[in-house]
Amino acid sequence: MKICIMGQGYIGLPTAALFTRSHCEVVGVDINEKIIENLNKGIIHIEEPGITDIIKNAIKLKVYKASLTPEKADAFIITVPTPYISENYSCDLSYVITACETIIPYLEKGNTVIIESTIAPMSTDETIKPIFEKAGFTIGKDLYLAHCPERVLPGKIIHELVHNDRIIGGVTPECAVKASEVYGQFVEGNLMLTEAKTAELSKCMENTFRDVNIALANELAKICAEIGVNALDVIKLANKHPRVNLHSPGPGVGGHCLAIDPYFIYAKAPETAKIIKLARDTNNSMPDFVCENVKKIIPKGKIAVFGVSYKGNTGDDRESPAYEIIAKLSTNYEIAIHDPHIENPDFVSFAEAVENADLILILCDHNEFKHLDYNFISKNMANPVIFDTKNIIKKVPNKIKLFNYGNLYELN
């Protein structure tokens, strides 16, 4: 089977890798010339365990190549970004539409087209299907169209793409069957066949569920800071209940999924989806909450920001709330950013960030931040203070002051 994958990012590239491992021929298409050039040399632009070795081996076996243009194939998979339109929170389908229009000259009767990009409910039927019908195809007869969303955790993408159950949403039952045959090449989890619109809403609701629950924890952290209660103790004790699982509060929600997908539902029914919108507003308010408490801890000086990735132990900084926090603080503070997982010429080493800093602000739960060199910190900070917004540091020496969401009420 030959597969053409449109988009070679956090989802497209791992998906391509796994198809090659299952002896499929894969063409990975992207509009970024530098990414294409590097991929064909085996140079990978995302941090994800296992991908580099698979792609290098696929290149060696001549079953993978990166390209700026599609090729004829048995199946086409669309994995391009779907941002939201800030004016009305709706799903921006422009990249998906462009990708679909781009593959039309390469389509043949009997091909399968799969949209993996997260899209708003009804998008496949109302927007994507007409593109191919206009080109002369009959969906479910000579072209098979489906929406098959991914559900993966950065840092474990290869494992989860293989082992997680997969939703296969066909425009027709025949489309679902054909799409399941494509993923059957490597997916070991259950292939759950359904309608495209059901698959679309299921994917959005998976991330909305998580976003709403994080918002509940973040709201609790705010309440506790206001009334003088340790939020972390509340969560720990409440979770002893056999049917309670409160999440951990944090500096906000990032990533392409949780920070965006709930809006796709809200935009479809804004008068009804009130909880979803309120949760988004709550999570979007956390950068301001962090900045307010930073100002209470130190009114001026240098801040060593530790971590800008939205997800610990990855280099994925899409929609990271850290950038909003940094932008807000940079107007009044000197900022030094340290993130061992992201290559950025403006970022500095641990030592450079800590040197003469007045506060260490932890915004990401990288493993490197869970056990810091406290001796170095004590010697190089005049008055050592850490504000841990990810609640990953359990204990510090007496000479270091630690703030987290358990004791912010001390600042009031």
Number of domains, the chain: 2
Instruction: Decide if pLDDT at 4 tops 90.
Output: yes
Task: Enumerate residues 6+ apart whose C-beta is below 8 A from 274.
Answer: none
pLDDT band per the 50, 70, 90 thresholds, residue 285 = very high
- The tally of CA atoms less than 13 A away on the side-chain side of residue 381 is 25
154 and 257 part of one domain: no
348 and 390 part of one domain: yes
Per-residue pLDDT at 374: 97
Per-residue pLDDT at 87: 92
* Interatomic CA distance for residues 364 and 320, integer angstroms: 10
> Any idea what the Cα angle at residue 68 is, between residues 66 and 69, rounded to 5°?
105
Q: Provide the pairing of β-strand 385-388 with 359-362.
A: parallel
* Residues of the chain above pLDDT 70, percent: 100
29 and 157 part of one domain: yes
Are 36 and 67 within 8 A, CB to CB?
Answer: yes
Per-residue pLDDT at 151: 87
Phi, psi (rounded to 5 degrees) for 175 = -65, -40
Dihedral of CA 400/404/406/407: which sign?
Answer: positive
159 and 266 part of one domain: no
Per-residue pLDDT at 39: 97
Report if residue 213 sits inside a domain. Answer: no
Report if residue 201 sits inside a domain. Answer: no
Instruction: Decide if pLDDT at 153 tops 90.
Output: no
* Interatomic CA distance for residues 195 and 389, integer angstroms: 41
Task: Give the domain-ending residue among 196, 220, 245.
Answer: 196
Instruction: Decide if pLDDT at 382 tops 90.
Output: no
240 and 380 part of one domain: yes
Distance of CA 5 to the CA centre of its chain: 19
Task: Give the domain-ending residue among 146, 175, 196.
Answer: 196
User: What is the token pair recorded at 366?
Assistant: 């990288």
* Residues of the chain above pLDDT 90, percent: 96
> 203, 204, 224, 291: which is the annotated catalytic residue?
203
CATH classification at residue 25: 3.40.50.720
Give pairs for 87-94: CB < 8 Å, separation 24+: 88/267, 89/263, 89/264, 89/266, 89/267, 89/270, 90/120, 90/263, 90/264, 90/267, 91/119, 91/120, 91/123, 91/263, 91/264, 91/267, 93/119, 93/120, 93/123, 93/127, 93/128
Tokens 């340290």 appear where? 338
Instruction: Decide if pLDDT at 154 tops 90.
Output: no
Report if residue 319 sits inside a domain. Answer: yes
120 and 15 part of one domain: yes
Residue 27: its H or E element: strand 25-29
* Interatomic CA distance for residues 391 and 214, integer angstroms: 14
Give the mean pLDDT of 15-38.
97
Q: Provide the pairing of β-strand 143-147 with 166-170.
A: antiparallel
Report if residue 290 sits inside a domain. Answer: yes
Instruction: Decide if pLDDT at 175 tops 90.
Output: yes
237 and 160 part of one domain: no
188 and 261 part of one domain: no
Report if residue 302 sits inside a domain. Answer: yes
26 and 175 part of one domain: yes
Per-residue pLDDT at 155: 85
pLDDT band per the 50, 70, 90 thresholds, residue 251 = very high
32 and 109 part of one domain: yes
Report if residue 184 sits inside a domain. Answer: yes
120-149 confidence digits (pLDDT tens): 999 999 999 999 999 999 999 999 999 999
Task: Give the domain-ending residue among 173, 196, 219.
Answer: 196
> 24, 100, 204, 257: which is the annotated catalytic residue?
257
Give the mean pLDDT of 75-101.
96
Residues forming a β-bridge with 296? none
Mean pLDDT of the chain: 96
Report if residue 92 sits inside a domain. Answer: yes
User: What is the token pair recorded at 58?
Assistant: 């696929």
Give the mean pLDDT of 37-63.
94
Per-residue pLDDT at 254: 95
Instruction: Decide if pLDDT at 412 tops 90.
Output: no
334 and 281 part of one domain: yes
Report if residue 234 sits inside a domain. Answer: yes
Tokens 């969906």 appear where? 139
Least confident of 53-62, 151-160, 245-254, 376-385: 151-160
The range of the structural domain enclosing residue 355 comes to 230-412
169 and 252 part of one domain: no
203 an active-site residue? yes
Per-residue pLDDT at 47: 85
65 an active-site residue? no
Give the mean pLDDT of 200-223.
97
